[in-house]
């Protein structure tokens, strides 16, 4: 017996909380399409994201450590998978729409440039006089315009709720709301708020793990970070509790500490959010939209510790000289690529020559570079600037 879409929708109506987003109540797609016989609208969106070109390219885009530093480190793709796992867990625990939270999380970094934030900074600077560049807006550009998989329309034609979840992550001063079909005054759905929190919860922990593994920081650097000390104490307790056969390898201790931290924050996020929903008498998705402060979030105590932890990461990891050296190098050669293509658009692949014709040279080149993986950008640089490189 097949489980049909209307039964799935019925299940959502029955089992989800009254303030959850329901796929049957979606505001729909920009291009009307018939519904799928046995997949819900958000489920279908998730699958469209996973099958997209931009999603596959996340595999070779830098999160913090560049791809050629080693195979252990998170890439944009594994970061995305970790964030979507957390989003799903939180959404399920709160009886919210797991498919929607997961889809927004899977799509949240699609617009990231090669070489992480260095690439974003470079393109933002280069595009300053030409409409700007912001990776969340770029994610939307990808799902609305740049993906080409369907005969009838450009983009992935995702539902309003997923597109809005991607857009709501952009800087608050962005003025393009109306043009994109969003209401700037309304708060994001709970599922979108969850995807946002899951992103930061995921990167805090995997970045500290990667930084320790790489030797950019050592355990002793974390001495003053309260949250980390709590986590180590919990890890030691677990190791002691495992008895004589305990695996006391320092790497296992570190992983137990990180496991504790994720669990602590996810649990705090679930219980704090539940409390805020009760206190705010939130009873429908409309109440969520009208709320004037975020409903999904950590308690003040855990939030303060998380901030201290993030400050540490910012100073000791993201600003480490090895990171800065790579970031400056990436900015330099992405800028060189950009300026060369803007000056000589005839050196672009044919598809992008057409795109430049349609979108203007700066925007077209920006789309091309933003879509590159780290190594594709490196190869392009070699082809353009190394005298004896074959093209
Ligand atoms: Mg992210």
Point out the least confidently predicted range of 9-18, 41-50, 241-250, 338-347: 241-250
What pLDDT does residue 176 have?
A: 74
CA of 200 to the centre of ligand 1 (A): 7
DSSP for residue 22: -
- Domain assignment present for residue 147? The answer is yes
Confidence of residue 72 (pLDDT cuts 50, 70, 90): confident
Ligand 1 centroid to residue 326 C-alpha, Å = 20
Alpha helices (H) in 16-75, listed in sequence order: 41-50, 53-57
| Mean pLDDT to the nearest integer, 288-297 | 94
Instruction: State in Å: Cα 190 to ligand 1 middle.
Output: 18
Q: What is the pLDDT of residues 152-196, one digit of tens each?
A: 999 999 999 999 999 876 655 567 777 777 888 889 999 999 999
- Cα separation, 94 vs 267, in Å, equals 11
Asked if residue 390 belongs to a domain, the reply is no
pLDDT given for residue 169 in this prediction: 66
Q: What phi-psi label fits residue 21: left (phi over 0), alpha (psi between -120 and 50 degrees) or beta?
A: beta
Residue scoring higher pLDDT (197 or 244): 197
Determine how many CB atoms are found less than 10 A away from the CB of residue 71: 7
Residue 137, pLDDT above cutoff 80: yes
Average confidence score pLDDT of the chain: 94
- Tell me the CA–centroid distance for residue 157 and ligand 1, in Å: 22
Cα 247 to ligand 1 centre (Å): 32
Separation of CA 112 and ligand 1 centre (Å): 9
Q: Is residue 284 included in any domain, yes or no?
A: yes
> What is the count of structural domains for the chain?
1
Cα 85 to middle of ligand 1, angstroms = 13
CA distance 260 to 231: 6
Residue 356 in contact with residue 348, Cβ under 8 Å? yes
Q: What is the pLDDT of residue 114?
A: 95
Q: How far is the CA of 213 from the centre of ligand 1 (A)?
A: 20
- CATH code (residue 228): 1.10.3210.10
C-alpha pair distances (Å), 31 with each of 62, 107, 150, 156: 33, 19, 11, 10
Instruction: Please give the pLDDT value at position 391.
Output: 63
- Going from the Cα of 259 to the center of ligand 1, the distance in angstroms, rounded, reads 19
Burial of 251 (0-12, 13-18, 19+ CB in 10 A): exposed
| 165 part of a folded domain | yes
The DSSP string of 79-144 is: HHHHHHHHHHHHHHHTT--HHHHHHHHHHTTTTPPTTHHHHHHHHHHHTTTTT---HHHHHHHIII
Kindly state whether residue 30 falls inside one of the protein's structural domains. no
Above pLDDT 90, what percent of the chain? 86
Give distance in angstroms: CA of 80 to centre of ligand 1.
Answer: 6
Radius of gyration of the chain (CA): 22
**Structure-token match 């252990």, residue found:** 72
Helix (H) or strand (E) holding 237: helix 226-241
Position 170 scores a pLDDT of: 61
**140 located within any domain:** yes
Whether the model clears a pTM of 0.85, i.e. scores above it, the answer is yes
Q: Is 27 within a domain? A: no
Count H helices and E strands in the chain, helices first. 18, 0
* Residue range 10-14: mean pLDDT, rounded: 97
Report in angstroms the alpha-carbon separations of 250 from 212, 222, 255, 257: 11, 15, 9, 10
Instruction: Kindly state the average pLDDT of the residues 321-333.
Output: 92
What is the domain range of residue 100?
Answer: 5-21+38-385
**pLDDT at residue 168, as a whole number:** 79
Give residue 26's pLDDT: 97
Nearest-angstrom CA–CA distance, 269 and 246: 31
How high is the pLDDT of residue 181?
Answer: 79
Q: Say if 32 falls within a structural domain.
A: no
Q: Which has more confidence, 176 or 371?
A: 371
Q: Write the pLDDT tens digit of every residue in 339-349.
A: 999 999 999 99
Paired tokens of 1: 């017996």
- Distance of CA 86 from the midpoint of ligand 1 (Å): 12
């Amino acid at each position: 017996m097949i489980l049909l879409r209307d039964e799935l929708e019925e299940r959502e109506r029955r089992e989800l909380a009254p303030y959850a987003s329901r796929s049957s109540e979606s505001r729909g797609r920009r291009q009307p399409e018939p519904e799928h016989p046995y997949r819900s609208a958000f489920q279908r969106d998730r699958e469209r994201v996973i099958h997209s070109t931009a999603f596959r390219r996340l595999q070779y885009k830098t999160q913090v450590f560049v791809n050629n530093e080693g195979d252990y480190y998170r890439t944009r793709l594994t970061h995305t998978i970790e964030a979507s796992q957390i989003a799903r867990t939180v959404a399920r625990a709160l009886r919210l729409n797991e498919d929607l939270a997961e889809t927004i999380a899977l799509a949240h970094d699609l617009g990231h440039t090669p070489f992480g934030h260095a690439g974003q900074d470079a393109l933002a600077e280069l595009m300053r006089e030409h409409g700007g560049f912001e990776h969340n807006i770029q994610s939307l550009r990808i799902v609305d315009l740049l993906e080409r998989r369907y005969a009838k329309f450009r983009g992935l034609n995702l539902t309003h709720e997923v597109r809005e979840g991607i857009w709501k992550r952009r800087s608050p001063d962005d003025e393009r709301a109306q043009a994109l079909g969003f209401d700037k005054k309304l708060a994001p759905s709970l599922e979108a708020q969850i995807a946002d929190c899951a992103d930061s919860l995921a990167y805090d922990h995997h970045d500290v793990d990667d930084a320790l593994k790489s030797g950019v920081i050592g355990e002793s650097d974390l001495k003053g970070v309260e949250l980390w000390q709590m986590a180590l104490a919990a890890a030691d307790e677990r190791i002691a509790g495992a008895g004589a056969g305990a695996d006391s390898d320092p790497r296992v201790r570190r992983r137990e500490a990180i496991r504790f931290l994720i669990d602590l924050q996810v649990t705090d996020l679930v219980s704090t959010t539940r409390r805020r929903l009760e206190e705010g008498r939130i009873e429908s998705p409309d109440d969520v939209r009208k709320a004037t402060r975020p409903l999904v979030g950590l308690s003040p105590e855990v939030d303060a510790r998380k901030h201290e932890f993030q400050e540490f990461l910012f100073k000791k990891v993201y600003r480490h000289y090895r990171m800065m050296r790579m970031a400056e190098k990436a900015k330099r050669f992405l800028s060189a690529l950009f300026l060369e293509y803007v000056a000589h658009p005839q050196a672009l692949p044919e598809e992008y020559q057409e795109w430049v014709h349609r979108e203007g040279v700066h925007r077209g080149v920006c789309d091309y570079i933003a879509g590159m993986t780290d190594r594709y950008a490196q190869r392009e640089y070699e082809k353009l600037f190394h005298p004896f490189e074959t093209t």
